Amino acid sequence: MTRYMLDTNIVSHLLRAHPAVVARVTAAPMVALCLSAITGAELMYGLAKRPGAARLARAVDELLRRVEVLPWTPSVMAGYGETRAALESQGPPMGALDLLIAAHALETGAVLVTNDQAFRRVPGLVVEDWTVPTGN
């Protein structure tokens, strides 16, 4: 079964009920969806910046209970080092958290679901953009 790791920007679209993202997420088996622990941390940071956002906090909590959050493991750490070194030799680096998420997807064999084109620079990373309606 293909695993789909949802990037933070896709989770943001999901929480805002973006039609194409909602359609793809609901069509996928729940066990096929996952998040990087890094994305989980980014979500917690977003909530910390908005302490009065009770509805958002409930939505994030529900998502984190339903979707598996993959832990940061020694093999992911090693993959991160290799991925970062490879990308730095090719030009300007991508954002630090994005690079951590990319390495996590690579090491777990997950397709990274994102609409951030910077991830397409990562060798071997399979990327899908679920903000685009199916068939386009």
pLDDT for the residue numbered 93: 76
Q: How far apart are CA 55 and CA 113, in angstroms?
A: 24
Query: Could you give the strand order of the β-sheet that contains 111-113, starting from the edge strand earlier in sequence?
Result: 68-70, 33-36, 4-6, 111-113, 127-128
pLDDT for the residue numbered 134: 80
Annotated binding-site residues read 7, 98
For the segment 37-74, what is each residue's pLDDT rounded down to a tens digit?
A: 999 999 999 999 988 889 999 999 999 999 999 999 99
Q: For residue 35, what is the enclosing H or E element? A: strand 33-36
Name the more confident of 92 and 13.
13
pLDDT for the residue numbered 67: 97
* Mean predicted lDDT score pLDDT of the chain: 94
- Is residue 132's pLDDT more than 90? yes
pLDDT for the residue numbered 63: 96
Phi and psi at residue 27, to the nearest 5°? -75, -25
What does the pLDDT average to over 20-39? 97
pLDDT for the residue numbered 53: 87
- Is residue 77's pLDDT more than 70? yes
- Is residue 136's pLDDT more than 60? no
Annotated binding-site residues for Mg(2+) read 7, 98
Walk me through the domains of the chain, giving residue ranges and CATH numbers. 4-128 (3.40.50.1010)
